[in-house]
Amino acid sequence: MVFSYIRSDKHFVGAYEQLKLINSYAMQKKIKINDEMVDQTSQNNRLNERESAIKYIRSHENGALLIYDLWVLSSNIEDVIQMCSCLLKNSIEIHIIKPSIVIDRHSDVMLVLSLIDNLRQTLQAEEKKRIGRPKGSRSSSKFDQYLEKITEYIRLNKSVSEMARELGVSRSSLKDYIESREIKEIVRGSIYVEPSNNVREEMINSIKCPNAEKQQYQKEFK
């Protein structure tokens, strides 16, 4: 069973961009996604407040989870470690598509630690630039809440009229949304680019060790 999990976060990458890369990756790797969840709960919620996400992830065993990046699981490192531990315990491969890394319960501990440290760096960097809209973000749409269903309908080759009836929305507005977001092209297209062969070493080399230079400088001039 291959399943994907998408969680939008206004400080990082939206559901649309995640969907685009996940589907492209799956097509290039010839992976069929059997189940998909677009989580609309607040990005500020801790893991114990996200009941639907927990149920969705725990309902799968011995399969593969596709996510855009590690922060999608949570913006809290403690929650990420707990969720990853649970997934690996249940023999689920985690495909982290942005850095193009797959981890399972037999993965190199240094690789796993590099992913966690990379997340730590990402969260710290984001804390420093919370003002203003993230670069490259799109304005939200009332149809974003239906993204999961829309992609499913497209895979089933339903017409826009059928989708609009199912969702109880305007056909013309839905058509504009699908075309402006290029959702049909995303579901059926390919934009994923294979990474370099030494991605593992690049990730490990990205680990940043604690730096005591500032503290030492302060001590010398006290």
- Mean of the pLDDT values across residues 144-153? 84
Is residue 155 in some structural domain? no
pLDDT of 133 over the 70 cut:
no
- Domain, as residue range, for 21: 2-132
**Predicted structure pTM score:** 0.71
Q: How many domains does the chain have?
A: 1
**Residue 56 vs residues 6, 206, 209: alpha-carbon distances, Å:** 12, 32, 36
Residue-wise pLDDT tens digits, 92-126 = 999 999 888 999 999 999 999 999 999 999 888 87
Report the CATH number at residue 25. 3.40.50.1390
Q: Which of 63-67, 149-153, 191-195 has the largest mean confidence?
A: 63-67
- How large is the average pLDDT for residues 76-88? 92
Residue that the structure tokens 């013309």 belong to:
172
Whether residue 153 is contained in a domain is answered as no
pLDDT at 217: 47
- 33 touches 2 (CB < 8 A): yes
Q: What are phi and psi of 102, to 5 degrees?
A: -115, 125
Does residue 66 lie within any of the structural domains? yes
Residue 155 or residue 189, greater confidence: 155
Asked whether residue 154 is domain-assigned, the answer is no
Residue 49 lies in a domain: yes
Residue 46 maps to a domain: yes
For residue 163, being part of any structural domain is answered with no
In this prediction, residues 5-28 reach a mean pLDDT of: 84
Distance between CA atoms of residues 181 and 138, nearest Å: 10
Report how far apart, in Å, the C-alpha atoms of 161 and of each of 143, 153, 167, 181, 206 are: 15, 11, 10, 18, 49
Q: Is residue 218 part of a domain?
A: no
